Amino acid sequence: MSSRDLQKETNKFELKSGNDSRNSMNNNDSLEPSSPSQRITESEIDLNNVLDSMVDIEGQSGATVIFVGTVRNFGMHGKVKEMYYESYSKMAEKKIKNIEKLAIEKYGIKKIKIVHRIGELALGNNSVIIALSTPHSKDAFKACKYILAKIKQEVPIWKKEILSKGDEKWVEGKSIKTN
C-alpha cells in the first residue's frame, strides 16, 4: 500500500472517529450561541452556509468577522501544487469546541462557527474558516486572531505539501501546546 493510500485509509478511520465524537457530545452544546456542527470535515467548506449561520435576526451583534485560510502555491519546501491535511479528528473536534467556549467567554461572541477541512486540497481551496459575531467590531477582530492562534497551537492537524517537483513533504510544525 502506498503512503497516499495509507492516508486515505486513515481518513476513513478518522471520519468514523469524528462521528463518534459528535455522537458523544453532551447537552452543554445547547449553551453555545451556535448550534453544534462538524468542525472537521473532508467536504468543501460552503462560505454561503457559513455567512447564513452568522445572520442575527435579534440584532445582538454589530460586527461579523470571517477568516478564510486557503491553500497557497508556495510553502516551507518550495512550490506547492496541492496540500494534504490529516487530523486526529476526535480530539480536534473537542479542542476546537473548547476554543469556541473560551473565545465566547473572553470576547462576548454571540455566534461562532469554526470548520477545518482535511484531505487533499487544491490551490485556492478553503482549508479553515473562522466566523464569529460580536456586539462590537474590535472584539470580533481580536477574537478571530485569538482563535486562529489557538488552532495553530492546540488542534491536532497536520499538513503535507504536495510539491510541483513531484515529492511530498510534511510541514514541520510546533509541538502541541498543553494547557
Partner 1 sequence: MTSQTMPKIRVTVLYFAYIHETTRKKEEIMELSTNTSIKDLISIILTRYPNIKNIKNIKICVNCHIVNSNSASILKNEDEVALLPPISGG
Decide whether 61 or 87 has the Cβ nearer to partner 1. Answer: 87
480530539: which residue's cell?
91
3-state secondary structure of 167: coil
Residue from 15, 18, 22, 87 binding partner 1 (CB under 8 A) = 87
**Closer CB to partner 1, residue 24 or residue 73?**
24
| Rounded CA separation 79/76 (Å) | 9
Question: Binding residue for partner 1 (CB under 8 A) from 80, 88, 120, 126?
Answer: 88
C-alpha cell belonging to residue 50: 457559513
Q: Which is nearer to partner 1, 8 or 136 (CB)?
A: 8
Are β-strands 119-122 and 126-134 bridged in parallel, bridged antiparallel, or unpaired?
unpaired
Q: Is the Cβ of residue 55 or residue 171 nearer to partner 1 in the bound state? A: 171
Q: Would the CA dihedral through 130, 133, 136, 137 be positive or negative?
A: positive
Residue 178 lies near partner 1 (rule: CB under 8 A): yes
Name the packing angle between helices 137-154 and 89-107 (round to 10°). Answer: 150
| Interaction pattern, residues 45-84, with partner 1; x per rule: CB under 8 A | ------------------------x---------------
**Contact call for residues 1 and 9 (beta carbons, < 8 A):** yes
Instruction: Please report, as ranges, the residues that interact with partner 1 according to CB under 8 A.
Output: 3, 6, 9-10, 13, 69, 85-88, 90-92, 94, 116, 128, 148, 151-160, 170-176, 178
